[in-house]
Amino acid sequence: MNAKPVHHAVYDTYADWETGHATAYLARAGYEIRTVGPSREPVTSIGGLRVQPECALDGVRPSESSLLILPGADLWDAGDDLAPFARKAREFLDAGVPVAAICGATAGLAREGLLDDREHTSAVSFYLAATGYGGGARYVEADAVTDGGLITAGPTEPVAFAREIFRLLGVYEGEVLDAWYRLFHDSDPQAYAVLEKAAAR
């Protein structure tokens, strides 16, 4: 596979459990996962994982990426420290490169105005409403939503979040995508057989 890397944002207090399904199976599909921090200085996740970012945010170019993933973090609601990541998301979307945001990152994008004209979801509607954004009428009660190159999901939906990423990038499709979701979301043993059959092709 010659696809461009997937860029995964990392910053202090990032929610390390929200993107694991997505990055693991993107890597298995041949995507290079590159971590992006505010700088090259190490950051620490909510779970206490210390991560050395491979690149700094200001050096990331949409033209060199397949996708930007923004996990949730306590910092999204604690000030403007992560606002540069929301601005980078705008840069990606303006360039036609997709962005996937989960949990608190959706609030950051709401503040940036990126949800005003796209269908989207999050933890609950009033969480985003508290940002004062103008997209409340476009809020959808769903596990994950894709619109205009932007994927959004709430904090309890890491599997649906990954499903939408795989769909958007064409990693899995049709019954294989459905089987992947049923296996990891529903623990459906019949779904495993579908995935094994697809892997053997």
State the catalytic residues: 103
CB-side exposure of 149: number of CA atoms within 13 Å?
16
Q: How big is the chain, counted in residues?
A: 201
Which among 60, 59, 81 has a CA at the least distance from the CA of 12? Answer: 81
Distance between CA atoms of residues 132 and 106, nearest Å: 13
Which residues make Cβ contacts (< 8 Å) with residue 190, sequence separation at least 6?
182
Question: In which element (H, E) is residue 35 found?
Answer: strand 33-37
| Degrees to nearest 5, angle at CA 22 with 18 and 26 | 155
Q: Which residue has the tokens 């979701």?
A: 181
**How many C-beta neighbours within 10 Å does residue 169 have?**
18
Q: Identify whether the C-beta of residue 53 lies closer than 8 Å to the C-beta of residue 35.
A: yes
Q: E strand or H helix at 101, and its extent?
A: strand 99-102
